[in-house]
Chain A
Amino acid sequence: DTGVSQDPRHKITKRGQNVTFRCDPISEHNRLYWYRQTLGQGPEFLTYFQNEAQLEKSRLLSDRFSAERPKGSFSTLEIQRTEQGDSAMYLCASSSLADYTGELFFGEGSRLTVL
């Protein structure tokens, strides 16, 4: 399977704990995105990388959230001191630099439940 893969698919944690999600994009894609989706809502942009550079970060993203893409391949999204409001599906997507169509290839998401 050469699609976008995310791990873990589901994480249950207690309030105050740290969690980390990993995303492996399609191998030839330069751009990688993180979105958050809550039940009944559309995906909400969090941050975006072009190769290893983080080019954009949503103002909605608190300081408890950090994302990295150290070698321009896989990416991690860490949430520190989780809160119940962080419960959501975290979607990773990738696209090619040459693609102007707006097509993002999404993974199946990592669902976070904060108790």
Chain B
Amino acid sequence: QKEVEQDPGPLSVPEGAIVSLNCTYSNSAFQYFMWYRQYSRKGPELLMYTYSSGNKEDGRFTAQVDKSSKYISLFIRDSQPSDSATYLCAMSFRNAGNMLTFGGGTRLMVKP
């Protein structure tokens, strides 16, 4: 079993829809949680970062962490075709020098 599990999709939604992306993890020692976005043939780029349970909002994006359930989510409101990409959850241990463990990624397609 992988340390971080993520539904690979693809997830196809119409423009304007609310998107929910999820990851589960097995190691309760993970302390920092991130969402990265990766466009085709590009490197991943950081979208959201959080270290505590609860919600964190940034524009159309909301990251949610539930440490008791070992479950994290990313919500995208008013999805746009430009949001079409692969979304990777990532997490790290405290004092781990930013060494990240990634999920497998969920491919999202937003249709105009």
Contacts and interface: CB of A to CB of B under 8 A. Distances in A.
Interface in B17-49: 32, 34, 41-46, 49
A83 to B, nearest CB: 22
A45 B101 contact: yes
B72 interface: no
B84 interface: no
A102 interface: yes
Contacts, number: 65
Given A101-B49, A103-B49, A31 B98 contact: yes
Interface string B86-105: 00101010000111111111
Interface of A: 4, 31, 33, 40-45, 48, 50, 55-56, 91, 93, 95, 99, 101-104, 106-109
Given A42-B88, A42-B103, A106-B45, 17 more contacts: A31-B98, A40-B8, A41-B104, A42-B4, A42-B6, A42-B90, A45-B99, A48-B99, A95-B98, A101-B34, A101-B49, A102-B32, A102-B34, A102-B92, A102-B98, A103-B46, A106-B43
